[in-house]
């Protein structure tokens, strides 16, 4: 009668196979890292901040979408446990400082966008990209509405400019491209 042992998830194996398990060296896996490149998130926010601050001229500034909000929405949907309200608030403050705007105005709107995107992340991830673009349109429109209301309360002259709403529409149209590009970058970085 041959000696049998149960290993490898319940399969019956002979004695010679058990020597495989005795001589095998265990894999060492660093918990938390495991080959992931989390710096990709910070790099994408850096490029979004650079694109948002870049001087385009008076005509093209009307057509420029809010790159930071688009990247923030993507990362809040993709990794909601890593990117959330704190990252949104920080990026908003950095954008306020970089654009010499009222400190806290963009921080408030980015934190609100991050909260809503993080809150509905599982639902929005199940949608096809074109339905996600509709949700992004609503999020960007809400941000533009809050910025317009704050500008009206502060008495700014360009509070009701129509370019802000054109940028919202362009941001929603660009969402599929940004989604695909950032998803490829996320898969390359082996992020969840």
- What domains, with CATH codes, occur in the chain? 37-188 (1.10.1760)
Estimate to the nearest angstrom the gap between the alpha carbon of 139 and the chain centroid. Answer: 14
Q: Each residue's pLDDT tens digit in the chain (192 positions)?
A: 454 444 555 555 555 555 555 656 555 444 455 567 889 999 999 999 999 988 677 777 778 899 999 999 999 999 999 999 999 999 999 999 998 888 889 999 999 999 999 999 999 999 999 999 999 999 999 999 999 898 888 887 776 677 788 999 999 999 999 999 999 999 998 888
In 10 A of CB 108, how many CB atoms? 19
Q: What is the pTM of this model?
A: 0.79
Q: Which among 112, 108, 143, 128 is positioned nearest to 175, based on CA atoms?
A: 128
Which residues lie across from 13 on neighbouring strands?
5
End-to-end, the C-alpha distance of the chain in Å comes to: 48
């Amino acid at each position: 009668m041959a000696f049998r042992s149960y290993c490898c998830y319940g399969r019956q194996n002979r004695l010679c196979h058990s020597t495989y398990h005795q001589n095998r060296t265990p894999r060492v896996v660093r918990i938390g890292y495991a080959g992931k490149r989390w710096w990709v998130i910070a790099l994408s926010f850096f490029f979004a901040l650079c694109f948002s601050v870049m001087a385009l001229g008076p005509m093209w500034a009307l057509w420029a979408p809010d790159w930071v909000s688009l990247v923030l929405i993507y990362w809040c949907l993709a990794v909601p446990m890593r990117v959330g309200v704190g990252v949104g608030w920080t990026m908003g403050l950095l954008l306020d400082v970089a654009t010499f705007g009222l400190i806290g105005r963009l921080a408030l709107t980015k934190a609100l966008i991050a909260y809503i995107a993080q809150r509905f992340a599982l639902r929005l991830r199940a949608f096809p990209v074109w339905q996600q673009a509709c949700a992004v349109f609503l999020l960007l429109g809400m941000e533009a509405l809050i910025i317009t209301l704050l500008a009206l309360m502060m008495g700014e002259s360009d509070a009701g400019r129509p370019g802000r709403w054109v940028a919202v529409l362009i941001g929603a149209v660009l969402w599929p491209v940004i989604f695909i590009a950032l998803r490829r970058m996320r898969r390359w970085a082996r992020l969840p």
